[in-house]
Amino acid sequence: MQSDPSSQSLAQTRTKKRPRTDSFDNEIALALTGLTDIPSISVARDPKYYQVNGDCKIRVGNTLFSIHRSLFEPDFLAFQSMLQLNSASGLTDENPIILARDTAEHFRALCWALYALSNSLTPEQTEGNSIELLTDLAFISHKYQLATIQSWSMNAIRRKCDHDICLWDNEKSYLIHCPDHLLSILLRLFVLYDETALQLLVTNSWITRLTSELPLSAFSTAFEFAEDNKLRTFLGQLYYARLTVADHESRHATFPQVNFPLQELEERHVQRIMRGSWALSNAWQNLLLSLPSLPAHSGCQQHDSKCIPEWKKLWASASTRGSVSDIRSKLRYIRDCLVNASYYGNGRISLGCITAGQSIVVPLIEKVELAFPDYFLGPE
């Protein structure tokens, strides 16, 4: 039986090479940029990865590392390039190789992995290591194209996030309970690795926490993160979440409020939320004006007398749920009513027409969710 790749040790395979590319060479050049321009600052030896007998001195920020050149096997293309470009550097503390575009935290994580190559270290044995160390390792191994370490670190992160469990049980989800700042770190990482399913888990968990436990000021931080990282879909979801919170606050206020309670937000965010509220309200009104028709099922004997009137009642009842702009909740209410009717039966709508109704409402929900960015930000 083939073993799970997530349980393979770092020592079981040599680090895979990728073909050298122009962008890769540029990245190496950038990593070494500014060797003479870095200001003179106090440099401290790393408490763990300054090896007394190390023969390769590397400075990252104001931290000096001393490690063994033998760690950089021929497979480590990036570091072989560095050593070749800096044959006279890295021999002494006074003349180290300088990585100008890395952080000490990221390089420390890489050192941890490099020294672990000689051990049989599996993801199961990393439970004591922090998620921060693993994400630092995933970032720097991606930058230097260390494919095996990339794969290993991402598998370890998936285990930390309880990937399979959090698909169905939020109470056991790492993402629901992890420190707040890790959500942005993990989302940036999953975007970098094009991990669509994990991105969705993080964004859903982030929005759940924003709408249930975090202070309203945390929305501003999330907005800024989504804007800075050009996450248009996530930004649309955030605006919709903040709109629903504002609607709830307005409906439950002791005194009626003329405006949405959005005082903590910058003006541009308020304008976008107001724009989205207007657009979503119009979208719901247009749905009611041109109500999707319920097609007759071949086996339905009561389509015109029962099923059609019940279909219209569902939409009318949905209109009374929440604010007029909360179109997703209204559509979900119709979907859930149809699901309950299919399970328990209500005698007012046939099973075939229930299925037909679900085939109309579910795609509508997906269409609305995909259009959130357009509602709040306008067409791309």
Burial class (CB in 10 A: 0-12, 13-18, 19+), 320: exposed
Quote the CA–CA distance of 298 and 303 in Å, as a whole number.
10
Extract the tokens encoding 85.
Answer: 């470009």
Those residues whose C-beta lies under 8 Å from the C-beta of residue 334, and which sit 6 or more positions away, are 314, 315, 318, 357, 361
Q: Which fold has domain 5-160?
A: Potassium Channel Kv1.1; Chain A (3.30.710)
What residue spans define the domains of the chain? 5-160, 289-377
Per-residue pLDDT 10s for the chain (380 aa) are 444 444 444 444 444 444 445 554 555 444 444 444 445 568 899 999 998 888 888 999 999 999 888 777 655 666 666 655 555 667 888 888 888 888 999 999 988 888 876 555 555 555 556 888 889 999 998 988 887 788 888 988 888 776 544 444 555 577 888 888 999 999 999 999 999 988 998 999 999 999 988 888 899 999 999 999 999 999 999 999 999 988 877 665 444 444 556 778 899 999 999 999 999 999 999 999 999 999 887 778 888 888 999 999 999 999 998 888 999 999 999 999 999 887 766 667 888 899 999 999 999 999 999 999 999 999 98
